[in-house]
Amino acid sequence: MKDRENFKDSIIKILKADWGKGLEQAEIHEKYHSLSKAIMERITDDWNKTQQEYGKGKQAYYFSAEFLMGRALGNNLMNLGIYEEVKEVLEEMGMDFNLLEEAEEDAGLGNGGLGRLAACFLDSCATMNLPVTGYGIRYRYGLFKQKFVDGFQVEEGDHWMKYGDPWSVRRNEDEITVEFSDGKVKAVPYDMPIIGYGTGNVNRLRLWQAEPVQEFDFGLFNEQRYDEAVKEKNRAEDISRVLYPNDSKKDGKILRLKQQYFFVSASLQDLVKKFKEKHGKDFEQFPQYHAIQLNDTHPVVAIPELMRILIDQEGIDWDRAWEIAVHTFAYTNHTILAEALEQWHSRLYKKLLPRIYQIIQQIDKEFVATLKEKGYPSSKIKAMRILSDNRIKMAWLAIHGSHTTNGVAELHTEILKHQELKDWYELYPHRFQNKTNGITPRRWLALCNPELAAMITELLGTKDWITDLAKLKELEKYLDDKAILERFLDIKVQKKKQLAFYIEKHEGIVINPESIFDIQIKRLHEYKRQLLNGFHILDLYFRIKENPDMDILPRTFIFGAKAAPGYFRAKAIIKFIHEIADLVNHDPDIKDKIKVVFVQNYRVSYAEKLFPAADVSEQISTAGKEASGTGNMKFMLNGTPTLGTYDGANVEIVEEAGEENNFIFGARVEELEAIKDSYDPKVYYEKVPGLKRVVDTLIDGTFNDGGTGMFRELYQALLEGASWHKPDHYFVLKDFEEYRKAHEKIDEAYRDRLGWARKCMKNLANAGKFSTDRTIGEYARQIWHIEPRKIK
């Protein structure tokens, strides 16, 4: 950085202009804000140049309800190549960079893997100079901030913008009006820069904020009817107020639907407006300049919305409009779970979006006619109809209304093609592709594990691996180098000590960095089987109680997960794990042989500390239920073996690194498919040693669920079934014994320290496939048909 003094002056001027303070008086968040704005100043010219360059040809647009971005400051400085220099400048100014980093709130724009994948994709697009823009919603509050009270999850508002957002620019000139049957709202765009690594290109994430057409009714206000005067304002702002509002009741469902339509309508109107400015009304060219990727089913209402715009506003006939839409859209399927394939009751669309509903009716009618022409039997037509039994099937609409449907891991895509979407694959075999997910190596290794990154750079003699992750394969020549393996282990211990310090500070729990760190961090869902993990810990506890001299290595089990506010059983699992932790952590007989920690408010910034410190990556979903997973890749990239089922991207991880360097257990997809109608969990409950004892703790008084009945309901779901599924729907009891044996293998393998380090290095060296640079390159070439364009 040649202009250090100018940079310092810029920070101080912004501090004075925005906060009216000098350095000495400023709060830490004010210093963070001013530093961030100074960086924004530096990139603005390149950002504008990038948008001008991209405007010359075809661009791709990523429509997603979530973008789980994580903190921006450190990542942006690293990608700009000025991370260390800025730290030095701040030290010269008397500021602690670490405190500034911690002052940044995680942007509350996403929840789980779907949103984090979108964020990694944007990072890769910018780094690879690909003309891609993200479109989403600027939520005022994220999903929620999680805290635990007596082991129960309690949700609090996640006001991530309480001190402002220095990384966004409001664009009033691009304001759009979105219409619902019950009124209009303004969609105001806020643009967030996406800075590429090692390039001048700065891409864009455009997020829409909902605002009222009329701020307040002055007449009503003058009559002192204050609540009524701001009713329209509140209803409009509700649309972008909260990520995933509870939709267990009708009003919540309407709000969710409003969110979806709001952001896709604003985005499409934005694109159409800019297209007309350049190309007039020659909409035949629209797909030549626009590739729109629908990230899961949340934005699929974009298909009938584009039809509405083309037909009603631009006067294009139905057949031409349909052809334009199909050639514009592509759809990513993220789930195999039938209950997660989004459906809407037709009355909600009729009420809120009557014209869109008419268009969906017409799409369905034309589709049925096509199937009849092809000789499809009525039973199959009924199963494939987009609109049937008063339900709109968004996944069906997405496949029919786009040119490409992709799964996100090889196993996932094969299950879609031959099981879940078999009829659709037979109808449109040419439309199906696989695009195995990935992660950005910038945030998930270079930024969060600088110690390991420095070692890799030294061993390879170049930093090129940061943008060409396949180069990690060259590390295999060090697999038997004792000095390098020991150095890797030293770095792992260093990261474990850092995490232990952080957990003690934030959770008040002391953990042993010399123990095995066994980590399961992901959304709390039954199919991800945090319950299986809990049962094993409890079984281990009971066995140690019976045999205090049992020879096991000390183990720290770490969980991080949020349960959806209305997901009763997921919340029961959180409470159950807390009860286990309370029992284990306070029993002097255990002598810290095992310890259990459930970290609060798991998020990207916490994840950046957890992934590098892990010894064991828990990826234990029921086989065939996890579409891909990306947490498994983040662990792998930080040199952590996988303990997992043959599911999602775990399959490809062991293909790359070898099953002998990971710990695979449990029934596979084919076996579960064969037994699903005859499976009786009580056989395992009665016969597997120790299993009945741990399951019965749900009802025998060992643990207290605060009178909620949640533990008994969990017990009944396992052994008797529930209203919507058979007993032990996710085969927890069936896989328990194999899971326990896999843990015993880990205990044995970990004792050979160099052998363990070799497994870790083998995983690290073969993580190259799982870069989003590879994934995005495939999207660009095979789906979007766009080329890199680097600014001068």
How do residues 353-370 score in pLDDT, each as one tens digit? 999 999 999 999 999 999
pLDDT of residue 164 exceeding 90 = yes
Position 722 scores a pLDDT of 85
Q: How far is Cα of residue 449 from the mean position of the Cα atoms in its chain?
A: 20
| Average pLDDT rounded to a whole number, residues 197-206 | 98
Question: Which of 224-238, 285-299, 510-524, 750-764 shows the lowest mean pLDDT across its residues?
Answer: 224-238
* Cα-Cα-Cα-Cα dihedral sign, residues 694, 698, 702, 706: positive
The set of long-range contacts for 685-692, using a CB threshold of 8 Å and a minimum separation of 24, is 685/718, 685/719, 685/733, 688/733, 688/736, 688/737, 690/539, 690/542, 690/543, 691/535, 691/539, 691/733, 691/736, 691/737
Position 782 scores a pLDDT of 98
Q: Could you give the 3-state DSSP secondary structure of residue 248?
A: coil
Give me the DSSP letters along 297-350: STTTTHHHHHHHIIIIIT---HHHHHHHHHHHEEEE-----GGGS-EEEHHHHH
Distances (CA, A) of 261 to 3, 60, 309: 46, 20, 13
For tokens 């964020």, name the residue: 119
Return the CATH superfamily for domain 55-70+106-437+777-784.
Glycogen Phosphorylase B; (3.40.50.2000)
- Say how many C-beta atoms besides its own lie within 10 A of residue 603's C-beta: 25
| Average pLDDT rounded to a whole number, residues 526-555 | 97
Count the helix, strand and coil residues of the chain and give each as a percent rounded to the nearest 5: 55, 15, 30
Q: At how many degrees (to 10) do helices 113-127 and 772-779 cross?
A: 80
pTM value is 0.97
Q: Could you give the 3-state DSSP secondary structure of residue 395?
A: helix
pLDDT of residue 1 exceeding 80 = no
pLDDT of residue 5 exceeding 80 = yes
If residue 208 lies in a helix (H) or strand (E), which one and from where to where?
strand 202-212
pLDDT of residue 215 exceeding 90 = no
Position 575 scores a pLDDT of 98
Burial 738-768 (b: 16+ CB within 10 A, else e): ebbebbeebeeebeeeeebbbbbbbbbbbbb
pLDDT of residue 531 exceeding 80 = yes
* Tens of pLDDT, residues 615-672: 999 999 999 999 999 999 999 999 999 999 999 999 999 999 999 999 999 999 999 9
Position 230 scores a pLDDT of 81
Position 79 scores a pLDDT of 98
Band of the pLDDT at 506, cuts 50, 70, 90? Answer: very high
Q: Looking at the DSSP assignment, which residues form a beta bridge with residue 295? A: 332
Q: Which amino acid is at 666?
A: G
- Residues 745 and 661 sit within 8 Å (Cβ to Cβ): no
Position 491 scores a pLDDT of 98
Q: Using CA atoms, how far apart are residues 137 and 190, in angstroms rounded to an integer?
A: 9
Band of the pLDDT at 224, cuts 50, 70, 90? Answer: confident
Position 14 scores a pLDDT of 97
Position 188 scores a pLDDT of 98
Return the CATH superfamily for domain 442-668+731-770.
Glycogen Phosphorylase B; (3.40.50.2000)
pLDDT of residue 228 exceeding 90 = no
The set of long-range contacts for 382-386, using a CB threshold of 8 Å and a minimum separation of 24, is 383/423, 384/423, 384/424, 384/427, 386/360
* Tens of pLDDT, residues 59-84: 999 999 999 999 999 999 999 999 99
Quote the tokens at residue 291.
Answer: 């590739």
* Tens of pLDDT, residues 409-459: 999 999 999 999 999 999 999 999 999 999 999 999 999 999 999 999 999
| Average pLDDT rounded to a whole number, residues 464-469 | 98
Q: Using CA atoms, how far apart are residues 591 and 593, in angstroms rounded to an integer?
A: 5
Q: Using CA atoms, how far apart are residues 786 and 782, in angstroms rounded to an integer?
A: 9
For tokens 């199909």, name the residue: 326
- Active site members: 334, 522-523, 528, 630, 634
Q: Using CA atoms, how far apart are residues 444 and 509, in angstroms rounded to an integer?
A: 26
* Tens of pLDDT, residues 578-611: 999 999 999 999 988 999 999 999 999 999 999 9
- Residues 295 and 205 sit within 8 Å (Cβ to Cβ): no
Position 2 scores a pLDDT of 75
- Residues 115 and 613 sit within 8 Å (Cβ to Cβ): no
* Tens of pLDDT, residues 325-334: 999 999 999 9
If residue 137 lies in a helix (H) or strand (E), which one and from where to where?
strand 132-137
| Average pLDDT rounded to a whole number, residues 313-325 | 98
- Residues 469 and 197 sit within 8 Å (Cβ to Cβ): no
* Tens of pLDDT, residues 750-792: 999 999 999 999 999 999 999 999 999 999 999 999 999 999 8
Quote the tokens at residue 13.
Answer: 């001027």
* Tens of pLDDT, residues 507-526: 999 999 999 999 999 999 99
Residues of the chain with CATH 3.40.50.2000: 55-70+106-437+777-784, 442-668+731-770
Which of residues 644 and 230 earns the better pLDDT score? 644
Position 231 scores a pLDDT of 85
For tokens 């120790």, name the residue: 690
Position 223 scores a pLDDT of 83
Band of the pLDDT at 505, cuts 50, 70, 90? Answer: very high
Side-chain-side CA neighbours of 620 within 13 Å: the count stands at 32
Band of the pLDDT at 197, cuts 50, 70, 90? Answer: very high
| Residue percentage of the chain with pLDDT more than 90 | 94
3-state secondary structure 507-543: HCCCCCCCCEEEEEECCCCHHHCHHHHHHHHHHHHHH
> Mean pLDDT of all residues in the chain?
96
Position 216 scores a pLDDT of 76
Position 246 scores a pLDDT of 78
- Residues 402 and 330 sit within 8 Å (Cβ to Cβ): yes
Q: Looking at the DSSP assignment, which residues form a beta bridge with residue 558? A: 519, 597
pLDDT of residue 151 exceeding 80 = yes
Phi, psi (5° rounding) for residue 616? -130, 130
E strands, 611-705, in order: 616-619, 642-644, 663-664
- Residues 525 and 336 sit within 8 Å (Cβ to Cβ): no
Position 244 scores a pLDDT of 86
Q: Using CA atoms, how far apart are residues 370 and 387, in angstroms rounded to an integer?
A: 15
